[in-house]
Every structure is written in C-alpha cells, then in structure tokens.
Amino acid sequence: MNKKILILFVLYFQIGFSNNKITETQKLFTTAKVWGFLKYYHPNVANGSKDWDEELFKIMPKVKKAQSEETYSKVIEDWIITLGEVDKKSIVEGAKEDYFDKNFNLSWINNDLLISKSLSKRLRFIEENRYHGAPFYIDTTGAGNIFLKNEKFSDLNWSDENYRLLTLFRYWNIIEYFFPYKYLMDNSWDKTLQDMLPDFVLTKSEDDFKVAMHKLTVRLNDSHSSFYYSTSQTNGKTRRFLPVKCVVIDKEMVVSEIMSDTLAKLNDIQIGDVITKVNNKTIEQIITEKRDLVSASNEASYLRNLVFEITTGYKDSIDLEGRRNSAVFKKVIQWTDYNKSHSNELKRKKSEKYKLIDDNIGYVYMGKIYEKEVPEMMSKLNSTKAIILDMRDYPNGTNFEIAKYLNSDVKPFVKYTKPDLSYPGRFIWSKPRLCGTKNANSYKGKIVVLVNELSQSQSEWATMCFQTADNATVIGSQTAGADGNTSSINITNKHEAPFSGIGVYYPDGTETQRVGIIPDIIVKPTVLGIQNKKDEVLERAVLFINEGK
C-alpha cells in the first residue's frame, strides 16, 4: 500500500511539474537569475567568448512561449548545452581566506519552482567547475571596489522591452553578486526583482523607465546609491536652489543656514523660519510620498536627502507656506543658482579652518583643513585642554596625519569585506587597518568628534579612526550610514548607478552600514536653538569638555 502511494505521489509530482501554468513574471525572474549566474560562472561565458547580451535576446522568444515549468526548464537547459562543455576541474577552495558569506546564496538553484532536477544538477556542476580566469565583465580596484568592463551601452533602445530587461538584469546581477551590503536591505533582493519586473515590462516612456531605474537603486537602502541622468524632464534647464539650507525637525522643515544674504533678504527668508508646506503639500506628505524615490541608508540620511530634493529643482519658482514665530506666511520664491550668481557671498561664509574656543579649546573644521596644514595646526593646539574635530562635512583625507598626534600607540580601527571575483557572491575579510603611531608625546587633552546626518563615507570612516584616540568622545546624532568607497557603475554611456563598494566594519565585525557611527552623547538641533542661532551640538561638546558630563 505504501509503495503504491509513493508511486502515485511521484507521478503526481511529475504531472504537476509539467502542467503547472507559469506567469510572465515567474519566467523573467528565473531567467534574470540564470542569465546572471551564467555570466559570471560559466567558463564559456565569463571569459567573454559569447555576446551575452545578444544571447539573452535570442533566448527570450523561447522563454515567452514556454507555458509550463517543464517546458521552461527544458528551454533553459537546452540553451546552456549550446554554450559548450564545462570541463570538470579540481578546484581547491582558498583555505587561507576568511570568508564573509552573509550575501552568498545560490540556494535558488535547488529551490526555484521553474528549475527541474536536471537543470539544477547542471547549474550546480557549473558552480563547482566555474570560471577561474581573468574576469571579462568585471574587475576590482586596489581598494576592492568593482568596475565594469566590456559592457555594451551604445545600442540601448529604451523603447524595446528586451533592452529594458537587459538593463534590469545587468544591474540586478551586479548587486546580487558584488554589493557588500545586500543582506542589510529592507527587502530581499529577490523580492525587489519580482516587484520591479512589471515596471520594466509595462513602462511606456523613457522617463518612466528611468524612474523605474531610480526606484530600483533606492531599494539598496544605501546613501551612496543613486541613478544619475539628464532627461527631457529637465527641459534643458540646470538645477537651481533656494538660497537657504534646511533641516527636518518633527515633520517640518526649518531654515538652518542662509546661503545668500542678498537673495534671502530679497525673498524675506530668515534662519529659524518653519516651512510647513511646499507647493501645497505638507512636509509630512512629502516625507511619505518620496520614500520610493530618495536613496538613503537610514531615516536621518533620508530626511537630509529629501531636503535637497525639496529645496532644489528645475522649475522657475516654488510656493512656500510656513510660520515665523507666531506669524503665518505664504510666498512664491524664484529658484536661482546662488553658486554662480552669489558665489562671493558663499566664499565669505566659509568658516575658519581651526580656531580657539574659550581660549583653551581647539576647534577644527574638518571640511577645510588639509594634510599639509596639520603639523602647524597641532603645534598651535597642542597646549589646549581639548580639541573638537567637526566631522559634520566631508573631510580632506587628513585623519591619518591628525591621528599621529592624537594616538599614543598604533591601533586597529576598521576592517573590510571585498568581493571574491573567483567565486561571485562571496566576500573576503581583510586584515584590520591601523590608525595612529607610537607617540610618547601624543596630545593629552580630550578629543571630541562632532557628527550628524551630513557625516557620510570618508567622514564616518575617519571618525572610526579618531575613536581610537586615547581620550575620544563622539557627540551628535546618527550619521548617514554609508561607509566605504563608492563603486560607480555605468548603466548607459550617460547614466551611472553608484553604490557602496566595499563592506566597512569595526575590527570586531560591528556594522557601520545603515547604522552609522553611534555617538557617545546624542544631541539634535531644536527649532528654538536654530532660531536663536545656536550650534547646540558644539555647545554640548564644550559643556562636556568643561564639566565632564
């Protein structure tokens, strides 16, 4: 009886596999994964001997005709057979390598509903006997960032579905195998492919297609990621700005800095003005509506990037509503490029490179100081009781030079994960990198590092270095959570889609991506503080230095 049941079960499974109707999304989803896997794994593809874009175009009509799991699987397996034999190799895995495998997952080869046992076996054989020569389509820089090679972009036709799908498949697989933080995304990368496929199939215009690409990059949850393009949406105009900088506090936007006194006076804008609506939409509405269109690792960097989207644009003017103290205002402001029209004002507004506060506290603006200026600076600040390093901007690569004066000894501060091109999808841990030098005469005062959502990438990485100083404290709020070098990937000749290219961690493996640098003392600006023109983070640092709390 049991034997009969087993036979019936096997027959049912076989009939089910061959007769189940499959959707277009299912077929495209699996085809994208197989195409990318073969691109980087199959010895006769990864060596560049096939026109791999053209191969996709050739197989797509057969994929579209396949109406069952069995038929689809046979189409793919027959296609793989045409690529030529794969020789069995004696691959010795790098026993000495320290692998980071949170991104690595080829389980779909066994679990995908559209992949038969025979096809699964063939794909596993390719994995086990994968290409080990010089990569044809991808390579890494000395730092470990990837860059593309030998991709064809000049013939892209945005109105052709095949080309749209090619672009999606190419980008999706780059992220699948070479993005170090794939495991940290809000949505699995597989789900993103399933969700985004209809957008690429059904789009009717070039601009719509580019919006789809932009939404795709946002799914990385990476403040480094974006999709840069120039389209008919700009109508030939250049990006222009409000003459102010703003921050979001409690779902409202507050003017925090005047970029042009002349333009601000002309438009009657003041520091501390609270903007409640932009073009008849509340800031809260805009925060909700833009989630799919603004790249960010965390909420702090999302709001920062959102402010840039709100306060810049290509139209002639912007409608604002808000309040100044208890008075409500409505106004129309003309966009302008103050970087050109009022550049002299901007130059005057640049702060000093370093100075003394209260006669005995050194303050260093890290966005201005250069390496060659560090020795003189440290000589002048050496007798102070504390040095404040303001990292609320992008620094100029001075952290190692400054650390020589701050650290009494050499200390590890960071380690990386870098892609293993011989086994796509796997990453290798680097040895920890060191900061500082052995220095018996190192600085003896307190070190305070100021951070906020503007602290990104090198700023976060440099802060990690400064945290190894003998008496260091970080004060401020959550940083952008996009550490490490950027890999800039071309999608076409004119469009790029960068992302964080190497994994950056503390020596003990603690993550910085998305989390950012966690301050020892958390301080955020308030509306009242801004209105009173206070730098509350800096004031809190001075209080800590003077009172130790």
Concatenated DSSP letters for 379-393? Answer: HHHTTSSEEEEE-SS
376 pLDDT band, cuts 50/70/90, is: very high
Q: What is the pLDDT of residue 142?
A: 87
- Convert the pLDDT of each residue in 423-449 to its tens digit: 999 999 999 999 999 999 999 999 999
Query: What average pLDDT is seen over the chain?
Result: 91
> Does residue 339 have a pLDDT over 90?
no
| CB burial readout 389-414, b (16+ within 10 A) else e | bbbbbebeebbbbbbbbbbbeebebb
3-state SS assignment for residue 419: strand
Predicted pLDDT of residue 8: 41
pLDDT (tens digit per residue) in 409-427: 999 999 999 999 999 999 9
Q: What pTM value is reported for the model?
A: 0.91
Between 534 and 94, name the one with better pLDDT.
534
How far apart are alpha carbons 548 and 424 in whole angstroms? 50
Q: What is the pLDDT of residue 19?
A: 54
Q: How large a percentage of the chain has pLDDT more than 70?
A: 91
What is the pLDDT averaged over residues 61-80?
97
- 393 has pLDDT over 60: yes
Q: What is the mean pLDDT of residues 178-188?
A: 97
Nearest Cα to Cα of residue 189 among 166, 209, 160, 169: 169
The confidence score (pLDDT) of residue 351 equals: 66
Q: How confident is the model at residue 92 (pLDDT cuts 50, 70, 90)?
A: low
Whether the per-residue pLDDT at 73 is higher than 80: the answer is yes
pLDDT digits (tens, 9 = 90+) for 231-283: 444 445 677 889 899 999 999 999 999 988 888 899 999 999 999 999 999 99
- 198-219: pLDDT as tens digits: 999 999 888 898 899 999 999 9
Q: Is the model more confident about 239 or about 389?
A: 389
**In angstroms, rounded to a whole number, what is the distance separating the alpha carbons of residues 44 and 448?**
56
- By DSSP bridging, strand 386-390 and strand 361-365 are parallel
Give the tokens for residue 435.
């900061």
Q: What is the pLDDT of residue 156?
A: 67
The pLDDT assigned to 212 comes to 94
Residue 327 has pLDDT above 60, yes or no: yes
Give the Cβ contact number of residue 147 at 10 Å. 13
CA angle 535, 537, 539 (to 5 degrees): 70
What is the band of 341 on the pLDDT scale with cuts at 50, 70, 90? low
